[in-house]
Amino acid sequence: MRNGRIDVSDSKPVPLTGREAEPFIVHKGDVYVMRGNGSKRLCGRAGMVVGESNLVVFPDLFIHVPLPTTRVLPEFFVAVWNSATTRRTLEEKAKTTSGIWKINQGHIETTTISVPAIETQRRVVRVLAAVRVKVDELKRLQAETQNELDALMPSILDRAFKGEL
């Protein structure tokens, strides 16, 4: 789970029959909340399955959040759930033992979010998607610029030590 997305392409085999796995199989669009993590800021984060799964089951540190998709878009839920306001609420509810921060089903059920009309949710999701594209482009440009600066630094140092600056 990263940035509100769950990538099921990187999975490990587990010794379960198809029948045993059935209740735990993830599907594209499913939403999960991270039940536990060593970092309080990651505990309780939500993510949506973005790819098709081929008999992938969710780990025990995830809690499935069944959404009434006629009322709440999964992408909208994840964005609002991971927002600063909801994060503050979840971090107040999180408890730790042995350094692992955890929330439970009750914490999820008692955390409220605002749910506007579906069309408003669609607009919000479109705007967030456009912003994500721009952020990804800026990150790419930043990495490219950093690589150029890293490549330039030895040359500058060489000239500085030779007294050529």
How do residues 122-165 score in pLDDT, each as one tens digit?
Answer: 999 999 999 999 999 999 999 999 999 988 988 888 888 998 87
Alpha helix stretches (DSSP H) within the chain: 18-21, 74-81, 84-93, 105-109, 118-161
Contacts 24+ apart (CB under 8 A), 12-17: 14/57, 16/57
Break the chain into its structural domains and give their ranges: 1-115, 116-165
Cα 144 to Cα 146: distance, rounded to the nearest angstrom = 5
What is the rounded CA–CA span in Å between residue 35 and residue 152? 45
- Say what the pTM is: 0.81
Pick out the chain residues at pLDDT < 50: none
CATH of 1-115, one of 1.10.287, 1.20.1740, 3.90.220, 3.40.50: 3.90.220
φ, ψ of residue 32 in degrees (nearest 5): -130, 150
Distance CA 61, CA 85 (A): 23
